[in-house]
A and B are shown apart, each in its own frame.
Chain A
Amino acid sequence: MTMKFCLTIAAITLVLSSCYKQSIADAMLGITGSKQTTTATLSYEINGNPVSISVKDADHQLAGSPTLYCEKSGGYILSGISSFGEIVFTFYTDSLKVGNYKYTSYYGPMYVTSFEGKPQYVYNPGDNMNFIVTSYTDGHITGNFSGQLTPAITPGYPDNIYGTPGSVLIKNGSFKNVPVFY
């Protein structure tokens, strides 16, 4: 008799929980069904050479070495790794929002990416990286970017030796659904 009672309660628990397909948070937010996995992408052309990064299920990238993400650390650091190397840009803000984030050489040298084996910097007057965040929704940012960079032909300390000013152009840059980690 007692066994039957206990098993009945256990069965009711299972049945009731299976009747509610949504989590409490999803029910309160009006989200129905299963969430789709998010694919994050970033692409651009550097002196005409196309670069593309795509990460499936971007919210669950390999811990310790994610491929494409934005992390709040001081500002917000956008980082992507492709076969060309990495691209890095820092949004200098305490709270990332939709808007225009432009970095110029006025603020000092900033490493952005590598190209043809040379690190590329915002360094000379006229150099810049201009990122526009067009959407920041559900923990993911989307937008576009462009820039003008100068190669460091001989990296060194305390100062690099730079090559032709503004000789590296980044065009048609875009990023979509890049997860923002805290």
Chain B
Amino acid sequence: MGKGSLTAFLVFFLMLQVNAQIGAMKLVGNNTKDYSMGFGAFIKTGVPVSDAADITLELSANIFPLKGYGLDYGTIMCPLVAGYRYTLNGTGQGLYIEPQIGYNLVGITSLPNDGNDIDLKYHGVVLAGGTGYLFTIGSAPFDLNLRYETVIAHGGSNNMISLGISRFISFGKRDTDY
């Protein structure tokens, strides 16, 4: 994937260095069986806006290798999304649902072709809907989440289902926080 993969791996590495967490994901839809399970790193932060809800911001780097080619070919996407996370019990903890919308900062799909690689670059709108569970271990807040995400560009879409866990970085406190 050349320079694109180098950039993405740098982003991936940097995100791990700043305590981002990793997730597993699978592309779904037409012609996605050529791709292996994907993996990614993401940073997620947010600001409480009520006892039940946060406005969240998430940056992720997702890599989907093409089967049979190691990491030489595949798809890389780095979406930045904002979300509204609403906890069902109204406490800011426990089960939540979260719609997200954003922009794909980097999108590269590299494919082999007759000895001349094809590198497709794109951006696009990102929409996601997910659910998850917020909990704390000691004083550290964690976010276990499952979501469906779509990146729309050039009249097509890359759709994925992802499962991840992150140590949530919160700015601000609720009235109920001690």
| Chain A interface residues (CB < 8 Å from chain B) | 2-3, 5-14, 16-17, 20-29, 31, 33-35, 59-60, 95-97, 136-139, 179-182
Given A2-B52, A22-B30, A182-B73: A13 touches B148 (CB 8 Å cut-off)? yes
B31 partner residues in chain A, CB cutoff 8 A: 22-23, 26, 31, 34-35
Closest 4 CB pairs of A and B: A27-B156, A10-B129, A9-B99, A17-B150
Bound-state CA distance A34–B53 (Å) is: 41
In chain A, what residue has the closest Cβ to B77? Answer: A24
| Chain B interface residues (CB < 8 Å from chain A) | 27, 29-34, 52-53, 67-70, 72-73, 75, 84, 86, 88, 97-99, 101, 107, 109, 111-115, 118, 120, 122, 124, 127-130, 148-159
B158 A23 Cβ-Cβ under 8 A: yes
Bound-state CA distance A29–B130 (Å) is: 30
B127 A12 Cβ-Cβ under 8 A: yes
Instruction: Report the minimum CB–CB distance from A136 to chain B (whole Å).
Output: 5
B30 A17 Cβ-Cβ under 8 A: no
In chain A, what residue has the closest Cβ to B52? Answer: A2
Instruction: Report the minimum CB–CB distance from A14 to chain B (whole Å).
Output: 7
Most interface-central of A2, A3, A96, A138 (chain B CB within 10 A)? A2
Bound-state CA distance A6–B155 (Å) is: 25
In chain A, what residue has the closest Cβ to B35? Answer: A23
Instruction: Report the minimum CB–CB distance from B132 to chain A (whole Å).
Output: 12
B129 A14 Cβ-Cβ under 8 A: yes
In chain A, what residue has the closest Cβ to B108? Answer: A25
Instruction: Report the minimum CB–CB distance from B78 to chain A (whole Å).
Output: 14
Bound-state CA distance A21–B127 (Å) is: 16
Bound-state CA distance A14–B153 (Å) is: 15
A33 partner residues in chain B, CB cutoff 8 A: 30
A3 B97 Cβ-Cβ under 8 A: yes
B75 partner residues in chain A, CB cutoff 8 A: 25
B27, B30, B101: the one within 8 Å of A21 (CB): B30
Bound-state CA distance A166–B131 (Å) is: 69
B68 A179 Cβ-Cβ under 8 A: yes
In chain A, what residue has the closest Cβ to B68? Answer: A181
B73 partner residues in chain A, CB cutoff 8 A: 182
Q: What are 23 A-B pairs at a CB distance below 8 A?
A: A5-B99, A6-B99, A10-B99, A12-B127, A13-B127, A13-B128, A13-B149, A14-B129, A14-B148, A23-B29, A24-B120, A24-B124, A28-B154, A29-B118, A33-B30, A60-B67, A96-B115, A136-B114, A139-B112, A179-B68, A180-B112, A182-B70, A182-B112
